Amino acid sequence: MDITSLDISALSGKLVKKELSSAEATRAYLERIGRVEERVSAFVTVTPEEALKAASEADSRIARGEDVTPLTGVPIAVKDIFSTRGVRTTCSSRILENFVPPYDATVIRKLKEAGAVILGKNNMDEFAMGSSTENSAFKKTLNPWALDRVPGGSSGGSAAAVAASECAASVGTDTGGSIRQPASCCGVVGLKPTYGRVSRFGMIAFASSLDQAGPLTRSVADASLMLNAIAGHDQLDSTSIDAPVPDYTAGLGSGIKGLRVGIPKEYFIEGMDPEVESSVRKALETIKSLGAELVEISLPHTEYAVAVYYLVATAEASSNLARYDGVKYGLRVDETGSLLDMYKRTRDEGFGPEVKRRIMLGTYSLSAGYYDAYYKKASQVRTLVKEDFEKAFSACDVIATPTAPTPAFRIGEKLEDPLTMYLSDIFTISCNLAGIPGISLPCGFTKEGLPVGLQILGRYLDEETVLRTAWSYEDATEWHKRRPNL
């Protein structure tokens, strides 16, 4: 039996029945990381000692007959953007290369309370700014399906680790598509919950009104189990939603007969890869065959979403990243004796080119004389984008679209052309601007063997219908069962 091929439900079942120990499962994953990590580069930090200790504790809980969760003893990973007590948290940036937090993020605390075994921290685009995981200060993560291709970003390390069976699941973050787009590129499931559904406390901020944590998994059921563990109100996060958290697995098998699925005409655009469009349209026909009704809808302000996002997100990044000044924590370059020079040199040496680009864009849009023309205007159009979705959901229950306009592109292909890179998230950004939930799941492969993702978006706080729709499609197809040959 290949332990690393088991999904969370299957692995949990074997752990509870004592057919397998968490220590055995953890060692199997650590051995898998040892075999394939050199080719994939999905981790910034691997924590074998901490993982084996957590596995031993999980085995003891099971042996004593204590109440356990479906995650108890299950080896997972987390994006290196979550504060982890005693384990360095870098955000894949030189400026935080040696930062060791004194506390756990709420997401990490909840995973530990659920009994999950954390194997390590996944690579990412620096400060979550990117769509290819080429902006990490430490390494480039490679796509397990084709090692000359990107895994997507910014949660590319998390998506690649799940696809390469280096962990049973991972937790990433999504600011403009950073869970869903890499899920599409790597042929896994990626869920962005409603903004505020999962606590942001201890999650290093990029754009505070957009950032949201969520799972990357092998199946929709696994995503539901992970969301059960990490969702919920948190008094430590002022943007956390105080609303009941349902059991997201409860309605998965109840079908989608009579469900209205909106198809936005603005998401099938000129220039989209024909194999992507073909796979998504076939997926829509499968959904229709399951009893759902396909309804054409319009999201007219979609064309402005990328521009709006890159004003709002960069403005918030400029503000959030001002804290990295060499004084409080992180890198400090202090050779001149001048405070101003120390600030400048620390930030110059600590931040990579993409982070600097976004700080400068954001600072400009917030500056005197330009605030009204850029940031204020973008915020107003963001409201129109949100109203588009509210109007659309009066005619449908969920919305189905492609996740990304192309499959995974080649490493280096878009690095010198930031605007083309930014357009990789053209189908995912609106979801963040509106604060609604969205999921990406595999719906096909190109002739070259590259995964294609189907995106399903739902109403505010209606992850249940999103997951039920995704599960129904997944159950009727075999795409999620494919694994890359490493």
> Which residues participate in catalysis according to the annotation?
79, 154, 178
d(CA 313, CA 336): 33
d(CA 12, CA 75): 10
d(CA 121, CA 101): 13
User: Pairing relation of β-strands 43-46 and 189-192?
Assistant: unpaired
Contact 423, 442 (CB under 8 A): no
Nearest to 28 by CA among 51, 59, 57: 51
Across 61-211, the runs of DSSP E, i.e. the strands, are: 75-79, 117-122, 170-174, 189-192
Nearest to 227 by CA among 212, 244, 247, 243: 247
Contact 321, 95 (CB under 8 A): no
Question: Which amino acid, residue 189?
Answer: V
Contacts of residue 49, defined as CB under 8 A and 6 or more positions apart, other chains included, come to: none
**Complete DSSP assignment for 48-100:** HHHHHHHHHHHHHHHHTT----TTTT-EEEEETTB-BTTB---TT-GGGTT--
What backbone phi and psi angles, to 5 degrees, belong to 75? -80, 120
